[in-house]
Amino acid sequence: MNCLSFLLAVSMHVGLENNYNMIHPHIRCQQNETIGGVYYNSRERASLYVGREYILQHFNVELGLVTGYEKYPVVPLFRLKKDIFFIAPAYELDGRFGAVLGIEYKFK
């Protein structure tokens, strides 16, 4: 069985000062609840991640660890998903918090 999926996300960054990449090509391997992959992040770098996806009654939650952001080599991954929509917390180095809102399309 092949675990690979190809995805494309488009995002909007809310409550943040800087300009960010909005287009995120993404390759994911998922086996049951375990997820891992690589995507082109908002800082225009490759991010590798590993984690778990929890399927709840009305939405899915992704928790894990991700690379590719400037200050720390590895940071927490948290994302809420409902169908093709997602929301994730965002943080700028000056201490500003915001959110990343987006849609993600999965190519089969």
3-state secondary structure of 51: strand
Question: What is the span of the domain harbouring residue 54?
Answer: 4-107
pLDDT band at 1 (very low <50, low <70, confident <90, very high): low
Place of tokens 């995507």: 39
- Rg of the chain over Cα atoms, rounded to whole angstroms, equals 13
7-41 pLDDT per residue, tens: 999 999 999 998 999 999 999 999 999 999 999 99
pLDDT at 102: 98
pLDDT band at 72 (very low <50, low <70, confident <90, very high): confident
Instruction: Give the chain's domain count.
Output: 1
pLDDT at 94: 87
Asked whether the beta carbons of 52 and 63 are under 8 A apart, the reply is: yes
**Mean of the per-residue pLDDT values for the chain?**
95
